[in-house]
Amino acid sequence: MRYNSCWLFGVISFVLLSLTSRAQTISISGEVTKPLTLQAAELKAMPHTDVMATDRDGKERKYSGIPLVDLLKQAGATLGADLRGENLTKYVIVKAVDGYEVLYALPEIDPEFATRTIILADSVDGAPLAKGVGPYRMVVPGEKKPARWIREVKSIDVRFAK
């Protein structure tokens, strides 16, 4: 009997772990006034924007996600009217679970400068991103190669270039 409940506990733990292992938080740190860690539920509740983008396979897809500018605003980054002077030398480093990192300059993210919206995508064509891609991936519309479409995003860090 004791052996049986042990076995059952193991199975239940495994099932629960498998179900929750994709839950990933996003932390925002560095040159911001309110460093924060956003939970999956908070990210889900934030306003989403759709972006049509062409994948490497040439197919047009509808990505949905949170504009990166909104995440940075929530953390208190210098954007909008504050994006001037020395703040124009700030950049954003996004890190992934596998250690891959990419950089965007703040003006690439701020809609007062940029003509396109970088999003932290959480779905493609209405479905959650695949394992190894999501739960969150940056989508940078308009670029000729997707090297900055960083998969499995885990953190966002704002820094000064000097």
Interface residues with ligand MTE (CB under 6 A) are: 56, 96, 98, 100, 145-147, 149-152
Complex with Mo ion: residue 97 or 147, whichever CB lies closer: 147
- Judged by the rule CB under 5 A, the positions of this chain that interact with Mo ion are 147
66: left (phi over 0), alpha (psi -120 to 50) or beta: beta
C-alpha 161/C-alpha 153 separation (Å) is 22
Residue number of the CB closest to Mo ion reads 147
CA 114 from centroid of its chain's CA atoms? 18
Nearer to ligand MTE, 2 or 145 (CB): 145
Shortest CB 61 distance to ligand MTE, Å:
10
- The amino acid present at 86, given as its one-letter code, is E
Taking the least distance from each CB to ligand MTE, the nearer of 50 and 98 is 98
- Minimum distance between the CB of residue 116 and Mo ion, rounded to whole angstroms? 19
Q: How far is the CB of 95 from ligand MTE (least distance, A)?
A: 9
With CB cut-offs between 5 and 8 Å by kind, which of ligand MTE, Mo ion, none does residue 140 bind?
none
The residues with which 36 forms a beta bridge, in sequence order, are 28
Angle at 150 between CA 75 and CA 33, to 5 degrees: 10
Which residue number, 59 or 144, has a Cβ lying nearer to Mo ion? Answer: 144
**CB 154, CB 147: distance < 8 Å:** no
As a whole number of angstroms, the distance between CA 117 and CA 68 comes to: 8
